[in-house]
Copies of this chain bind each other. A is one copy, B any other.
Amino acid sequence: MAAYESYLESHQDRFLQELLEFLRIPSISALPDRAEDVERAGHWVAQRLTAAGVENVEMLPTGGHPVVYGDWLHAPGKPTVLIYGHFDVQPVDPVELWTNPPFEPVVIEDRVYARGASDDKGNMLAPILAVEALLQSEGGAPVNLKFCFEGQEEIGSPQIPDFMPPHRERFACDLAVSADGGQFSETEPLLLMSLRGVCGLQVDVHGASSDLHSGLHGGRIQNPIHALTQILGSLRRAEGSIAVEGFYDDVMELTADERAAIARVPFDGDEYLRDLGLEEEFGEPGFSSRERGWVRPPLEMNGIWGGFQEEGIKTVLPNSAHAKITCRLVADQDPGRILDLLKEHISQHAPPGVTVEVTPMSILGRPYSISAEHWGNRAAAAVLEELYDREPYQTRSGGSIPITGVFQEQLGADTISFGFGIEDENFHAPDEFFRLGSFRKGQVAYCKLLYRLGESTLPN
């Protein structure tokens, strides 16, 4: 047994207590009231890095929630690896559906239940503990290390694109490793080949200067809700494809090999629907459910509101109606261009008699993809095969981690995903949990990964 393995084993009790402490901080980045808690979580991470032996630890202001930096740069001639994760969490609504309060973690049958347990506190703590084990038991790490932990991933990292350029030298690296990710199951590993990008906008339709009596004015003036439903209804064709002119222009079509790789990843469509409580799937024709979720760009309505929403009846003709829309993007769609196309479509489809306002959201991420043959993925695959005794599936994610695009653009660094969450762990939902087996496995896996990366030959 390697020294780091003994170190990890003998400190699991303390590590678990630390994870519980971390999970007790309600660092919900979406709620302005919780900004201090996000900051507090950042401080916790900074102290934890320092305790692990990481140097030059610093909280960096972003104009929003902070970024925590740290490094350990004593492996001359070796690659520099930037480890990424996030210490902010999703909101907890509907809180009444939680079995236990979301920020009072409980351990039941080797699982810890709490908001952020899997996404991403448990996952991001694992590499810190791995590095502590290496520095404390092995006398050093096999690569140069940098850390970038952010507090705004769950709100789309709005300040990160502006934050990074002046910090390019500080974060310069050969490879980024994201601890915000997962494995296919407890026994089946994966390599993540792509993440979708994201962009969004709010549509506000304004009519008369105040709410009106529908008896007196109904039929005589435009109804903002009706106008909004016409606009929104026009965005998608009945069969499921997006009707916005130019929307698919920059989508890279899948190769036969890519489609085959996706088809090799186990998927039970019936079970998928059963889990969601649905009778049938729906989406762009000509693609499988997995393809739609991983490599095709949907447009989703996240919220809509206007007029009277309570119990009972109010025959109001409301003076405004509103909707929030986000798109998930795939290579090579550019989020800025997609926003322009959406604005153009909406302005062309705006019915008469109302004013239609379109406001881009601060969430903006480029789609990201990486080859299975990338030297980082080769190292990751080797570690995973060793730990799981089988080859990883080549999967993709429908979600977005906008910072991966920033690393690529600003640092010229590719990002591999190396995390140990599993899809059933209710992230973004009530009763989120993390398997403590994954927590322990992640610590060992990171030690092994860093050794592999230290032995890698970088491309010129």
Contacts and interface: CB of A to CB of B under 8 A. Distances in A.
Nearest to A297: B219
A220 B221 CA distance: 37
Contacts of A213: 399, 427-429
A10 B399 CA distance: 78
A9 to B, nearest CB: 34
A298 B218 contact: yes
A398 B219 contact: yes
A238 B351 contact: yes
A323 interface: yes
Contacts of A307: 301-304, 324
A315 to B, nearest CB: 5
A371 interface: no
Contact of A302 (B220, B232, B283, B316): B316
B282 A351 contact: yes
A217 B351 contact: no
A305 B305 contact: yes
Interface stretch (A272-280, A372-380, A403-411, A445-453): A272-280
A305 B309 contact: yes
A220 B289 contact: yes
A318 interface: yes
B313 A361 contact: yes
Interface stretch (A133-141, A222-230, A247-255, A384-392): A222-230
A400 B215 contact: yes
A340 interface: no
Q: Indicate how many identical chains form the complex.
A: 2
Interface stretch (A48-56, A100-108, A203-211, A257-265): A203-211
A92 B233 CA distance: 33
A399 B216 contact: yes
Contacts of A223: 300-301
Interface string A187-202: 0000000001010100
Interface in A289-328: 289, 292-293, 296-298, 300-309, 312-318, 321-324, 326, 328
B281 A214 contact: no
Contacts of A229: 228-229, 232-233, 301, 304
B313 A277 contact: no
Contacts of A228: 229, 304
Contacts of A196: 215
Contacts of A217: 276, 293, 398
Interface centre among A300, A361, A428 (most CB of B within 10 A): A300
Interface in A64-102: 91, 97
Contacts of A351: 238, 282
A159 interface: no
B221 A312 contact: no
A303 to B, nearest CB: 4
Interface centre among A211, A280, A283, A313 (most CB of B within 10 A): A313
Interface in A400-426: 400, 423
Contacts of A309: 303-305, 322
A230 B233 contact: yes
A320 to B, nearest CB: 11
B313 A225 contact: no
Contacts of A207: 278
A362 interface: yes
9 contacts: A215-B400, A218-B293, A229-B233, A229-B301, A281-B353, A303-B307, A304-B304, A305-B309, A315-B363
Given A220-B292, A301-B307, 10 more contacts: A155-B312, A155-B313, A214-B302, A216-B398, A221-B283, A226-B236, A280-B352, A303-B306, A303-B308, A304-B304
Name the 10 nearest CB pairs between A and B, nearest first. Answer: A219-B298, A209-B277, A215-B399, A233-B233, A282-B353, A303-B307, A303-B308, A225-B301, A222-B282, A229-B232
